[in-house]
Chains A and B, each alone.
Chain A
Amino acid sequence: MPVNDSENGMPQHDSALATALAMILELDPTLLGIVMLSLQVSLSAVLIAALLGLPLGAALALWRFPGRGVLIVALNALMGLPPVVAGLTVYLLLSRAGPLGEFGLLFSPGAMVVAQVMLVLPIIAALTRQQVEELHQEYHEQLHSLGLSRARMIPTLLWDARLGLLTVVLAGFGRASAEVGAVMIVGGNIEGVTRVMTTAIVLETSKGNLPLALGLGIVLLTLVALVNAAAHLLGETARRRLG
């Protein structure tokens, strides 16, 4: 990590912004690696969670079955799952002594993706359920009239709810990129292998290097803002084109 000048031993909180700016401008390779890994892990987790959560949420919206209410409440509750608990669960699963230990995934980016999927999936599935249920109210007679079975309605409903679902997926990305508890436990914060933005921030904080920690925080925030801005732009274009 690039370390700012702190020879005098006194913290310089006001220099956090300068630190962040310098890191971005210098394109520090270590920082770049950490940023890329953060994006890879969180985007992969969100992608996987979306592939699972969108159809799952839509199915929950369309089908009535015993236990559905319990499942919806559970899913909503899991939206508040503490990342540390998700991390611990995945740790126990992936640990050599655990049921999935054979794969040797622990302390690898793959394990971090798995943990973040656990955090993001409930958000995507639960919010998708709400959005699709609303749209289904409006569409179901027309789609039924066209001869669609429920299963065949799912892609149509997901596609027509896409603007709202984009926000849902972004909420998932926000959770993934902001959490530290899960990736710390299953990734181990190994330099150059599993160190991501949030764990680097924790590390620098524990070293008492607050300006650098805050600087990294600003970089992370900027990244998340950029991803959100891109998605927003995409959404706005679609909205203007499709009404």
Chain B
Amino acid sequence: MNTMLQARQHADVAALALEGTSFVHRGQPLLTDVSLRLEGCRRTLVMGPNGAGKSLLMRLAHGLLPPSRGRVRWEGAPPRQAMVFQRPVLLKRCALDNLTYALAVNGIPWRRRRRLAREALERFGLGELARRPARVLSGGEQQRLALARAWLLEPDMLFLDEPTSALDPAAIRAVEAAVDDFHRRGTRILMSTHDLHQARRLADEVIFLCDGRLLEQADAERFFSAPATPEAAAFLRGELVG
């Protein structure tokens, strides 16, 4: 199913730029003057203490929320995107139908939907659960189903908002493996986490937020070895920041 995708080059995917982006809610500045640029097929991890604005940044970047000031801009044609949320939002239908639904929304012909959905279920180890109501699956299974749904959409860019924060280690491992699969397929990743070790395992690049401000955007290696700001350094030492 991904013949189309293998031919795609990283460079094809338009870069995403946030330019002086701010978000104010009821007079409260939650994100202030954030500028950054995401390009290529990198895995960018968004880090920072709770309340730093990580989830908000993901939503602005994905286009779920309009910025109060500044702008969010694709440098070229907006690519296909998908998002996986901290708490997966699954429809009140069986696992298989959750996947065929996403395909239907994207205009995949009726006959192909079922086959593609089956393949995705198998790929994410959910083949046995195809006919189970999605909302009675375990937390890990639900998150895998959400990933399978994103997989079917063949996104050029995938947003993941703390996808493992409520999961047990085995389920976390499955999610991280899936992120790698996406990455190998040529998908750009923007993922938030508050788990330092996870960031070390996955990140090509790190964005560090604190109090709604972007303090660093740096290569992972450089960030972890020599953080440029005292806040990031403190955060890496495991101190309370913000």
Residues of chain A from 131 to 145 with CB closer than 8 A to chain B in the complex:
138-139, 141-142, 144-145
Beyond A243-B133, A243-B135, A243-B136, is A145–B92 a contact (Cβ under 8 Å)? no
Complex interface bits, A137-179 against B, C-beta within 8 A gives 1, otherwise 0 = 0110110111110001000100010010000000000000000
Q: A37 to B134, alpha carbons, bound, how many Å?
A: 42
**Do B62 and A145 touch (CB < 8 A)?**
yes
Q: Which residues of A contact B135 (CB under 8 A)?
A: 242-243
Cβ distance A132 to chain B, nearest Cβ, rounded Å? 13
Of chain A, the residue at the smallest CB distance from B149 is: A146
- What residues of B have a CB within 8 angstroms of the CB of A139 in the complex? 89, 91
Given A141-B59, A145-B64, A147-B106, A243-B92 contact (CB < 8 Å): yes
> B105 at the A/B interface (Cβ < 8 Å)?
yes
Q: Is the CB of B59 within 8 A of A160?
A: no
User: Interface residue count for A (Cβ, 8 Å)?
Assistant: 16
* Contact across chains for A242 and B85 when beta carbons are under 8 A apart: no
The reply to whether A148 and B105 contact each other, CB–CB distance below 8 Å, is yes
| A207: Cβ under 8 A from any B Cβ | no
Interface residues on B, range: 20 to 34
Cross-chain contact A141 with B91 (CB below 8 angstroms): no
Bound-state CA distance A139–B92 (Å) is 11
B179 CB–A CB distance under 8 Å: no
Contact of A145 among B83, B94, B134, B136 (CB under 8 A): B83
Q: Mark B69-106, 1 if CB is under 8 A from A, else 0.
A: 00000000000011101000101111000000110011
- Expressed in whole angstroms, the minimum distance between the Cβ of B149 and any Cβ of chain A is 8
Mark B47-73 against chain A: 1 for CB-CB distance below 8 A, else 0.
Answer: 000000000000100101000000000
Q: Please, what's the 1-or-0 string for B114-157, where 1 marks a CB less than 8 Å from any CB in chain A?
A: 00000000000000000011111000000000000000010000
A147 cross-chain contacts in B, Cβ below 8 A: 105-106
Residues in chain A near residue B81, CB distance under 8 A: 145
Tell me if B91 and A156 are in contact (CB < 8 A). yes
Q: A170 vs B106: C-alpha distance in the bound complex, in angstroms?
A: 34
A241 beta carbon closer than 8 Å to chain B: yes
Q: How far is the CA of A152 from the CA of B92 in the complex (A)?
A: 17
Q: Report the separation of the CA atoms of residues A156 and B89 in the bound assembly, to the nearest whole angstrom.
A: 13
Question: Which residue of chain A lies nearest to B131 when distances are taken between CB atoms in the complex?
Answer: A241
B59, B64, B82, B92: residue with the most chain A Cβ atoms closer than 10 Å = B92
Contacts of A160 in B (CB 8 A): 91-93
Q: Is the pair A146, B136 in contact by a Cβ cutoff of 8 Å?
A: no
Inter-subunit contact A142/B133 (CB<8 Å): no
Q: How far does the alpha carbon of A207 sit from the alpha carbon of B92 in the complex, in Å?
A: 53
Binding site for B on A (CB under 8 A): 138-139, 141-142, 144-148, 152, 156, 160, 163, 241-243
